[in-house]
Every structure is written in C-alpha cells, then in structure tokens.
C-alpha cells in the first residue's frame, strides 16, 4: 500500500513536471513543483512567479569575479540568449558579487541567490561559492541546455531566495585507476559531473599490485614496466605528468582538488616488478608470492605484497617518488595508502612516510590503519570500516564501505561487483542513509575499486546515480535529508543525467526514460575554461 502510494505520488509529480515543461505559461505565474535542486539547498524560499530570461542579457561582475561571469555567460548562450559580461556593480539583469565579508554568514563555499522581477543576484565570499550558485541556476534551466539545444523557447526561472552552504568541506569520490586504468578524457568527464553536484575532491588511487599509473621521471621503470598490467580484462596505461597537470587545472577551474594516492607499504607489487631491489632477498616480502619480477600481477588478491621494510633504501625510493609527486600536485594533500598489510615495522614506515610528505610541504592522508601509528596531528584518516583503534586524534574522511563502496552491487547479485563488505550490495538508499557521528569528520568520499570494473560504461554504472546521493549527504544539513524527497528530485533530473551521456545504473527506484543515453558524453560546461 505504501509502495503504491509513493508510486502514485511519483507519477503525479512526473506528469505535473512534464505539463509545466511543455507550456511554461505566458502569465508567468508558477505552479506545480518547484525545480529539483540536488544537493538540496539549506534555505530556500520559492516564490510564485517566474522571471522570463530576456533575449538580451547583461551580466555585471566586479573585476575579481570575471570567471563566474564567464561560466554564467556560457550557460546563457547555451540556452539561446545573447549576453554581455561587463565590469560593474548591480548594473545588469544578472549581478554577481564576490565579497569576502560574506564568509561570516555564508561560509567559505556558500552563496546566496535571489531571483525576482529585476533579475538574478548571486553573492558569495569565494569563487567557489559563485560557481556553486551557477550550478544551482543551471539545474533550474531546461535539461536541454546541457546539449546547447534549449534556444527554442524562452527560459523561465522561478522566483526564489536561497542561502546555501555545505555541511561538509570534503565531498569526494575516489577512482581506482590502478586495477584498471581510466585516462585523462574519462577523468575530465567525471570532474564535470562531480562539479554539477557541487563535489570538490577527486582522489586518484594511482598505484597498486596490478599497475602504476603516474609518470615519475626519476624512476622511469615504474611506468615502462609497472603501468603495463591491470586486473584480468581491464585497461593498462598511465597519466603523464603533463596530463596529470592538465587534469588538475581542469578540476581546479571547477573547484575540485585532486588528491594523488601512492599506496604503501603494501599494495606495491607493480613497483616491485619495476624495481626488484625494493624486495627482500628471496622475495620473503611477498607472502605468498602470487607473482615475481618480471611477471606482472592481474589477480584480485590483496595483502600479499609489501616493500622490504628492513631495507633502508626503500626510504630513498619513497623520498624520490613523494618529492616528485609533491612537485606536480597543486592541492595540499598526498595520500600514502597504508591499508591491508601486516609488518612489525609498519608503524615505523607510516611515521616516516608521513614526515616525508610534510617535508615536501603537503599534508598526508592514509587509510584508517595508518592511525595505529603515531602520525602527526595534521594527518587525515580515511575510514573504510571504522574498526581501527586509533592512537591519535586526527581528522576523518568517512568512506564507510557499507554506505560508500560503489564497487559493490547497485542491486543484489549485480555482475562484476564486489560484495565482501555488504553481501546484498550498496543501494542508493544505503548511500543516502549515511550519517556521521564523529565530531572530527571533515566529510565524505565514495571510492570505486576497479578490480572488476573493466570499462567506462561499467564505471559510469557504479558511480551514477549513487554519487548523486553522496553529493547530497556531503552538502545538505543532516536534518534536511529525506530519502523520498531526494528520490522525487532525482526522478526529475533523470532525463538530464541521460542527456549528459552518463551510462548510469538503471536504479529501480527511478523511472528512467526509454530514450538512448546520449552517445556524446558531454554537458554544457564540458571542455570550457574561463
């Protein structure tokens, strides 16, 4: 009965929306459901009228928010309007204000957005906040704007007053490019999609037993040899330093910081295949020796490889690799892994690796096992099961596997998925149900381990739409999170997700339309640089 009722509500909502979409009324009075915004803004008051975007638009910006003016102008052009960006205050029908003093009210990344008969006013203390306000506006435009094909009808924007800021400062995804490689073009698309949902951290798992994925100039064999493998059926390859820099620039323009992970002292077989001298004599550090150099490893087992921790030379290697990575990383963090390995010298290694990262001016992150060691107080722990007895009191990123491991099945029994953390998979609802009870949590991050994720279509399927739920859990105040309301909004966005060319999972809670997913995986801001 309850299911029937919610189906009815859904159908009603859907038909209302399609009526509205078809006949934005000429009297400009708004009725029906308000636009579906994800993540849900923290304070929003919808008005009962609509602002008709005129054919000619003027965006007024102060000289320091030109970038935001460019993004907005791109959006307006894609919807078929003419637009000029001019420097000045409150002189147009679109007015952008960047004012650091707004930080007191709106926080670092917050924004306020007002739409009334005079037009649109967007304010923030930061470029990031203006960018997020523009994503909110973008979600109010017809979905076809993603394909730059919304020029036919005038665009109407519902009057609104929004004050919005994120609950968590860390709203991330992790892509394991080590088990199966995903290159620059895919990662840029991924960044575009994250940005649409106001996410801001992209963690790349760059090394593991099966592959090494980042060029290190002082250690050329890491890629000459170590990048050649993958898990069975996956892709090999690596990012050149040039590509890595390009990705970071692309992401930074979208307020996303890239975090590189070099997993150590375990999960290192690809590096050992390239530099056998990092192993102990007789490979006693490989237990069991599932492969030995020069063989590559393409299986799924974990926990069998590690550096030879009694050899001092391994620290020269760590020092050179971390030094080079620090030099090409724009963000403040380097992830040192630290998961799934036993060794009497484990803690010693972690403490040293942490101090090497700090020596190069960066802050270290590690999987929660690393907090068994006396790491610096600046260290950040990424919790994946929450069971490690930490000896330090450090900040935490929440990646609890039963809520956030998107390599797990979308629905029970899905092929090519993992199930060791949760037998019946991690459903959309499981993701949405996450609530942190840790005062030291700085945010959430959803990983996709790609052991059995072999191509882009599969990766899209694992990430979407569950990442949309991650984004909302990361942004919206916990008291406002309501699953059915989220589903209603996601339902409204479903056609847009397909238009954007995302090969999402056909999650059963959502009614996906029958049209083909757009063959061209791009959206309104793809490739754009202010």
Residue 446: CB minimum distance to ligand TNX, A: 12
The smaller minimum CB distance to ligand TNX, of residues 80 and 234, is found at 234
Are 135 and 196 spatial neighbours (Cβ–Cβ below 8 Å)? yes
- Residue 60 DSSP one-character state: E
Q: Tokens 């690393």 correspond to what residue?
A: 370
Tokens matching residue 69: 């003016």
Distance CA 327, CA 330 (A): 8
Q: Compare residues 181 and 449 and give the one whose CB is closer to ligand TNX.
A: 449
Q: Which two tokens stand for residue 445?
A: 């991050």
Residue 276 and residue 250 in contact, taking contact as beta carbons nearer than 8 Å:
no
Which CB sits closer to ligand TNX, 210 or 285?
210
Distance CA 55, CA 82 (A): 6
Q: Which is nearer to ligand TNX, 40 or 463 (CB)?
A: 463
Pick between residue 208 and residue 324 the one whose CB is nearest to ligand TNX: 208
By Cβ distance, which residue is nearest to ligand TNX?
449
Tokens 């000459």 sit at which residue? Answer: 224
CB of 350 to ligand TNX, least distance (A): 14
> Smallest distance from the beta carbon of 325 to ligand TNX, in angstroms?
19
Beta carbon of residue 449, minimum distance to ligand TNX (angstroms, whole number): 3
Q: Using the minimum distance from each CB to ligand TNX, give the nearer residue, 301 or 316.
A: 301
**Nearest approach, Cβ of 476 to ligand TNX (angstroms)?**
26
Q: How far is the CB of 387 from ligand TNX (least distance, A)?
A: 12
CB of 122 to ligand TNX, least distance (A): 40
- Whichever of 297 and 449 has its CB closer to ligand TNX, that residue is 449
Distance CA 464, CA 428 (A): 9
Q: In angstroms, what CA-CA distances link 378 with 357, 381, 388?
A: 11, 10, 18
The minimum distance between CB 452 and ligand TNX, in angstroms, equals 9
Q: Is 486 helix (H, G, I), strand (E, B) or coil?
A: helix
Q: Using DSSP, state whether 322 is helix, strand or coil.
A: helix
Residues that bind ligand TNX (CB under 6 A): 302, 339-340, 367, 384, 418, 449, 451
Q: Which of 394, 266, 284 is nearest to 341 (CA)?
A: 266
Q: Angle at Cα 141 formed by Cα 138 and Cα 146, nearest 5°?
A: 70
Query: By C-beta, is 77 or 372 nearer to ligand TNX?
Result: 372
Q: Give the nearer residue to ligand TNX in terms of CB position, either 340 or 429.
A: 340
Is the distance from CB of 76 to CB of 103 less than 8 angstroms? no
The strand pair at 82-87 and 201-205 is best described as unpaired
Least CB distance to ligand TNX at residue 263 (A): 8
Using DSSP, state whether 403 is helix, strand or coil: helix
- Rounded CA-CA distance 226/307 in Å is 15
**Local structure of 516: helix, strand or coil:** coil
């Amino acid at each position: 009965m309850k299911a029937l009722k919610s189906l009815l509500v859904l159908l009603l909502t859907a038909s209302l929306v399609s009526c509205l979409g078809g006949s934005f009324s000429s009297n400009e009075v708004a009725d029906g459901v308000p636009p579906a915004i994800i993540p849900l803004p923290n304070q929003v008051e919808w008005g009962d009228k609509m602002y008709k975007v005129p054919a000619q638009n003027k965006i007024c910006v102060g000289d320091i928010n030109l970038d935001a003016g460019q993004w907005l102008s791109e959006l307006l052009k894609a919807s078929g309007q003419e637009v000029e960006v001019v420097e000045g205050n409150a002189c147009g029908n679109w007015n952008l204000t960047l004012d650091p003093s707004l930080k007191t009210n709106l926080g670092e990344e917050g924004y306020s957005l007002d739409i009334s008969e005079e037009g649109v006013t967007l304010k923030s203390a930061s470029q990031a906040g203006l960018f997020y306000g523009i994503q909110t506006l973008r979600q109010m435009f017809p979905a076809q704007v993603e394909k730059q094909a919304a020029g036919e009808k005038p665009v109407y924007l519902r009057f609104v007053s929004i004050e919005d800021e994120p609950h968590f400062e860390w709203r991330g995804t992790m892509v394991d490019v080590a088990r199966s490689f995903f290159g620059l073009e895919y990662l840029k698309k991924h960044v575009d999609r994250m940005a649409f949902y106001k996410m801001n951290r992209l963690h790349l798992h760059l090394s593991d037993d099966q592959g090494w994925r980042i060029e290190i100039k002082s250690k050329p064999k890491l890629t000459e040899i170590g990048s050649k493998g993958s898990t069975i059926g996956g892709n090999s390859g690596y990012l050149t330093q040039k590509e890595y820099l390009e990705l970071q620039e692309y992401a930074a323009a979208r307020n996303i910081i890239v975090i590189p992970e070099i997993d150590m002292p375990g999960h290192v077989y690809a590096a050992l295949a390239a530099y056998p001298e990092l192993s102990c004599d007789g490979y006693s550090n490989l237990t069991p020796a599932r492969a030995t150099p020069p063989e590559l490893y393409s299986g799924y087992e974990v926990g069998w490889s590690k550096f030879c921790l009694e050899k001092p030379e391994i620290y020269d290697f760590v020092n050179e690799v971390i030094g080079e990575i620090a030099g090409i990383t724009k963000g403040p963090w380097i992830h040192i892994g630290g998961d799934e390995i036993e060794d009497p010298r484990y803690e010693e290694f972690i403490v040293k690796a942490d101090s090497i990262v700090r020596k190069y001016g960066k802050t270290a992150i590690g999987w929660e096992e690393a907090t068994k060691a006396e790491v610096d107080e600046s260290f950040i722990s990424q919790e994946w099961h929450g069971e490690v007895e930490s000896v330090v009191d450090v900040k935490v990123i929440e990646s609890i596997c039963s809520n956030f491991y998107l390599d797990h099945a979308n629905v029970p029994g899905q092929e090519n998925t993992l199930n060791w953390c949760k037998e019946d998979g991690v459903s959309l609802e499981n993701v949405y149900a996450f609530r942190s009870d840790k005062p030291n949590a700085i945010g959430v991050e959803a990983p996709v381990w790609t052991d059995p994720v072999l191509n882009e279509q599969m990766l899209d399927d694992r990430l979407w739409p569950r990442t949309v739920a991650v984004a909302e859990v990361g942004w919206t105040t916990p008291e406002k999170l309501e699953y059915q309301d989220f589903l209603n909004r996601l339902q409204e966005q479903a056609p847009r997700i397909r238009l954007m060319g995302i090969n999402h999972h056909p999650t059963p809670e959502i009614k996906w339309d029958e049209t083909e997913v757009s063959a061209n995986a791009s959206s309104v801001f793809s490739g754009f640089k202010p």
